[in-house]
Structure 1
Amino acid sequence: MTRAIVRHVAHTIKPHPNTAVRYEAGCQRCAWTAVPSSEGAIVDEQCLVHAGRSNHRVFTRSATGYAFVVREGESDAPPAVR
């Protein structure tokens, strides 16, 4: 039988500093979608305009970004994003 030593190593997750968050939204009543942006308020404004014109008031919203994990004792330098 093989034996193994298991140790706990603390990890943290951080937003990647060299990338921007991408905000997106889409209407749940029709095929309308907002133009993606790196600013959430711009996407929210597009949803408000669409709601005002169509009376469609339910949207999906998403924010997508990159993150990286740092193990305790390692450098905080983020790896390159491909």
Structure 2
Amino acid sequence: MTRAIVRHVPHTIRQHPDTRVMFEASCQRCGWLAVPSTDADVVDEQCLVHAGRSNHRIFRRAMLSHAFVVREGESPEPPAAP
């Protein structure tokens, strides 16, 4: 019989401090893409302009970021940024 020891270690996930959040958007009617930006308002403005010109009103918006996982008891220092 093989025995195994199982232990549960709590983890947390954190925003990587050396990277920036990026915002993106796409029109769900025609596939138009906003120019990605680190400023959400810039992307929203692009969507408003596209909606005004095309009357397309449904957009998919995304916020992208890099994160890292820290195990309880380990140093919270992040690994090198991607």
Question: In which range does the TM-score fall when normalised by the shorter chain?
Answer: over 0.9
Structure 2 partner of 1:25: 25
User: Superposition RMSD on alpha carbons, in Å?
Assistant: 1.0
State percent identity of aligned pairs. Answer: 68
Q: Secondary structure at the match of 1:48?
A: helix
Alignment of 1:3-82 (within 5 A): 3-82=3-82
Letter of the structure 1 residue corresponding to residue 47 of structure 2: C
Q: CA deviation at 1:23?
A: 0.8
Q: CA deviation at 1:81?
A: 2.4
Moved over 2 A (4+): none
Structure 1, unmatched stretches of 5+, are none
Between Structure 1 and Structure 2, how many residues are aligned?
82
Q: Distance in 1 between matches of 2:9 and 2:31?
A: 46
For normalisation by structure 2, the TM-score amounts to: 0.92
Q: CA deviation at 1:55?
A: 0.8
For normalisation by structure 1, the TM-score amounts to: 0.92
